[in-house]
Structure 1
Amino acid sequence: MSLRNPASHPRTNQTISIGTFIFESGEELGNVELAYERYGPTNAPVILVCHALTGNQLAVGSRDERGWWAGLIGEDCPIDTNRYQVITFNVLGGCHGSTGPASINPDTGKPYRQTFPKVTIRDMVHAQYEALNRLGITHVHAVAGGSLGGMQTYEWGLLYPDFMDKLFILAATPYLSDYGIAFNHIGARAIKSDPHFRNGDYHSNEDLRGFEIARMTGMVTYRSSTLFEKRFDRSYHADTSYEIQSYLDYQGDKIKERFDANSYLYLLEAMNNHDIGRGRNGWAQAAKQYKAEVHTFSFEHDLLYPEALIQPFSATCEKGEHHHIHTDYGHDGFLVEFDRWGKWVAEQLI
């Protein structure tokens, strides 16, 4: 069956209100909104895609702004939008249109900033579930995501086990390790120690040098030493610094242009608290509760989410399957080299 009729391939990038939302903490907010992208035939099976820490709802994107999973998602791609429609939400607590710390508190007329309720991965999933219901979607073919998006995918399979047929979890472990928490702590400490942070009441991201350091720290963990050596090879930039130093400086500058520091802190804390075993007698018992097919992917040189923590989870699931990808990209492998692993996604979606 061909679904190439352009009229049935709309792309939507807008927000939806989910009304009053009660967080795991017990706090509640009224008129919570989630921004989302919806792409593909509206009569096709739905694949829900969940984004990573500094990602957003633009997984597919447009001709002018390619999405962060463009190439994995699209016509004749592994997630083929001739066969499926894809929906991606900006997470609750995000800063690309969804309600978060940078949103205006209607009671004060000022941004919530650090008064925003604490957000958990489970809060993110509950909010997206409500949004899907309001869009008239009561079942999805699959949920997929990497890193923070993978954490959400883990929780989708436990909070709403009958809502999907398949789960695709990339570069994410069933709980965040102490090693991962350690790097998140360094980043958060750098931001909070910046004198311009002012307990979250900063005038502008541009003032926050600590935010730059937090991003640099993250970038070092996202890719492998092998890749850095191949790419930079101790080369100089304009005879003033090494290329790797200029690269990190650039990444530090760019994050301030496209992400809110308070939101970054909230999402780091949500990642720190990620543990599918919380309240479920540990991760191994939780792994036995999945009803959907579970497909996990680990990436060579991933410092934060190693195969050693992912494969045992998959083996414990009743319908689990694990793939390990050989790559020099490390953790960022889930964002590139789709030709290396996209075929497994395509084959298991059918």
Structure 2
Amino acid sequence: MSRLVAPGELGVVNIGTLRTEAGAIIPDARIAYRRWGKLHGLDSGRTNIILVEHSLTSGPDVDEWWPGLIGPGLALDTNKYCVVCTNSIGGCHGSTGPSSPHPEGGYWGSRFPGISIRDQVTAEIAFLDALGIEGVHAVIGGSMGGARALEWAAMYPERLSAAAIIAVSARASAWQIGIQAAQIDAIEGDPHWHGGNYYGTGQQPREGLATARRIAHLTYRGELELDERFGVEAQEGENPLGPVRDPQQRFAIESYLDYQARKLTSRFDAGSYVTLTDALNRHNIGRGRGGLNRALATIQVPCFVVGVDTDILYPYHQQEHLSRNLGNVLGMARISSPVGHDAFLAEFRQMNRIIRRFITLASAATLPEPGSHFS
């Protein structure tokens, strides 16, 4: 049994060989994680772990992308709970992914297999097994993290007490697959992509990743918010209304998207972006389970569903569909915001209330006594 890393530190756990849903093999796979708070209840198997699942380009540093929500007395109260956030398999923040060394030499690159949301959950179960942890109190996640939380409830109901599913659908829609496929195409069309084998070449498909981010960011934010912030204004000191089109003369919204693109390319790997976006395209809770509604109805883990009223990427009707068809619904909450999909990362007051409400409802299940802890 391994010991957990110190609170806030990055740890890496070897989970051995991972076999994907499609039959591919990832030997010597590793999962990176961070944790906050002390772990109780290891002996009984019912622990006080709240497992937080990150979105596409986030990582295990949940205290940074959900600031003010994790800590003593906060919504994710580390006086009561052990909050754990892993980096998804296929990611680039410490877990095995395309940029990781391959056991046979070089980097995984194009040899890294396609993965599904189910594979992400399978890897996370192997991570807990490696630590000797049988179960968690709750799983909570938004966007890609919400898809993982939903699959957790479907795949391993005996290992969690409740799930919060935020800003996601029961399966990828044709529109979602299309817009995300366009992002993948932008990266794979970059001359520095090299078929996914750019690692070690000194080149990176930054322009392709930047274009993908511009496309994606328009689906993450709300139309009303962007128009209110930028309208048709020119970027300061530039003139996009000149006699010829000049890429150096931009509207303010173009400058904003360029800024978001630069931020992502400085911190995220293009290979992981392709891998994880493809995993989202494969998301389908009904695959192999008799269809969407039948699969949802069989989920008896208490689930709390959250949506955003202005979400373009995962429209609110998709969360309504979840709430109508899940077998055990704790409740539903709507985030009201002009921000769009990213509201679950931006509307901290509303998220604070929602997370507290979810945890109160989820805590109807018995928590372990805090007398003995595994630190």
- Correspondence for 1:188: 184
CA distance in 2, matches of 1:79, 1:174: 26
Shift in Å, 1:218 = 0.3
Q: Name the amino acid aligned to 2:228.
A: K
RMSD (CA atoms): 1.7
- Correspondence for 2:174: 178
Shift in Å, 1:201 = 2.1
- Equivalent of residue 266 in structure 2, options 244, 257, 261: 257
Shift in Å, 1:83 = 1.4
Q: TM-score, normalised by structure 2?
A: 0.86
CA distance in 1, matches of 2:67, 2:203: 28
- Equivalent of residue 282 in structure 1, options 264, 276, 291: 291
Alignment of 1:346 with 2:341, yes or no, is no
Cα deviations by residue, 1:243-302 (Å, 9 ceiling, x for unpaired)? 211111111122111111111111111100100000001110111121211101110111
CA distance in 2, matches of 1:258, 1:196: 17
Q: Name the amino acid aligned to 1:181.
A: I
Larger Rg: 2
- Correspondence for 1:26: 23
Structure 1: 5+ residue runs without aligned partners? Answer: 1-7, 61-66
Alignment of 1:266 with 2:275, yes or no, is yes
CA distance in 2, matches of 1:204, 1:253: 18
CA distance in 2, matches of 1:205, 1:328: 38
Q: Name the amino acid aligned to 1:127.
A: A
- Equivalent of residue 137 in structure 2, options 136, 141, 155: 141
**Contact (CA 8 Å) 1:206, 1:257: kept in 2 or not?**
no
Q: TM-score, normalised by structure 1?
A: 0.92
CA distance in 2, matches of 1:250, 1:81: 35
Tell me: CA distance 1:116–1:82, structure 2 relative to 1, closer, same or farther (3 Å). Answer: same
Cα deviations by residue, 1:81-136 (Å, 9 ceiling, x for unpaired)? 221111111000001110011111121x2111111111111111011011112222
Alignment of 1:72 with 2:81, yes or no, is no
CA distance in 1, matches of 2:255, 2:322: 39
Shifted more, 179-188 versus 239-248: the winner is 239-248
Shifted more, 146-155 versus 315-324: the winner is 315-324
Secondary structure of 1:315's match? helix
Tell me: CA distance 1:194–1:293, structure 2 relative to 1, closer, same or farther (3 Å). Answer: same
- Equivalent of residue 119 in structure 1, options 115, 120, 124: 115
**Contact (CA 8 Å) 1:9, 1:42: kept in 2 or not?**
no
Cα deviations by residue, 1:214-255 (Å, 9 ceiling, x for unpaired)? 000000010011111222243333321322111111111221
Alignment of 1:198 with 2:198, yes or no, is no
- Correspondence for 2:343: 333
Shift in Å, 1:206 = 4.7
- Correspondence for 1:165: 161
- Correspondence for 2:59: 56
Shift in Å, 1:204 = 4.9
Cα deviations by residue, 1:160-212 (Å, 9 ceiling, x for unpaired)? 01111111011010101111111101111111112221211223565531111
Secondary structure of 2:158's match? coil
Structure 2: 5+ residue runs without aligned partners? Answer: 41-46, 239-249, 361-375
**Contact (CA 8 Å) 2:75, 2:356: kept in 1 or not?**
yes
CA distance in 1, matches of 2:202, 2:341: 30
Secondary structure of 1:12's match? coil
4+ runs deviating over 6 angstroms: none
**Contact (CA 8 Å) 1:48, 1:142: kept in 2 or not?**
yes
Shift in Å, 1:69 = 1.5
Q: How many pairs are equivalent?
A: 336
**Contact (CA 8 Å) 1:205, 1:260: kept in 2 or not?**
no
- Correspondence for 1:219: 217
CA distance in 2, matches of 1:9, 1:204: 35
Tell me: CA distance 1:111–1:72, structure 2 relative to 1, closer, same or farther (3 Å). Answer: same
Secondary structure of 1:312's match? helix
CA distance in 1, matches of 2:348, 2:191: 42
CA distance in 1, matches of 2:259, 2:202: 18
CA distance in 2, matches of 1:262, 1:132: 26
Q: Name the amino acid aligned to 2:273.
A: Y
Q: Name the amino acid aligned to 1:22.
A: R
% identical equivalent positions? 36
Shift in Å, 1:338 = 2.0
Shift in Å, 1:309 = 1.5
